[in-house]
């Protein structure tokens, strides 16, 4: 049975051999790729995907539905002095004061 030191030495020898074989195979693959690129007149830009920064736009994407247009809500409150209205969503206007029920628009 082999000792620990012998196995470690074998492992290191195999790793060195592995690195050599990989380097020689990579060189062959690179030559093939360069030959094909020259034959078909390809550039690196043709092969490598373009990197884009930021978030992609949602509109116009295949497979994604277009965003629905938000419709304005009907106003619930109205200031009789200025005619300003508020739907009840978002920040409460100052003219509403402490008793908003005074400004309710009657439902038709």
Q: How do residues 41-97 score in pLDDT, each as one tens digit?
A: 998 888 887 777 777 666 555 555 666 777 888 899 999 899 999 998 889 999 988
Distance of CA 98 to the CA centre of its chain: 45
Q: Say what the pLDDT of residue 71 is.
A: 80
Q: Indicate the domain borders of the chain.
A: 4-47, 72-108
Q: Helix or strand or coil: residue 85?
A: strand
Question: How much is the pLDDT for 1?
Answer: 78
pLDDT of 57 reads 67
Cβ neighbourhood burial of 86 (10 Å; 0-12, 13-18, 19+): buried
CB 86 within 8 A of CB 77: yes
Residue 2 has pLDDT above 70, yes or no: yes
Cα–Cα distance for residue pair 81/95, rounded to 1 Å: 10
């Amino acid at each position: 049975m082999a000792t620990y030191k012998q196995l470690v030495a074998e492992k290191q020898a195999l790793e060195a051999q592995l690195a050599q074989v990989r380097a020689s195979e990579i060189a062959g693959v690179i030559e093939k790729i360069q030959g094909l690129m020259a034959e078909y007149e390809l550039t690196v830009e043709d092969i490598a995907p373009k990197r884009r920064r930021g978030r992609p736009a949602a509109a116009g994407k295949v497979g994604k539905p277009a965003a629905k247009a938000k419709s304005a809500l009907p106003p619930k409150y109205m200031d009789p002095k200025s005619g300003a209205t508020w739907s009840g969503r978002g920040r409460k206007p100052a003219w509403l004061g402490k008793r908003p029920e005074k400004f309710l628009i009657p439902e038709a």
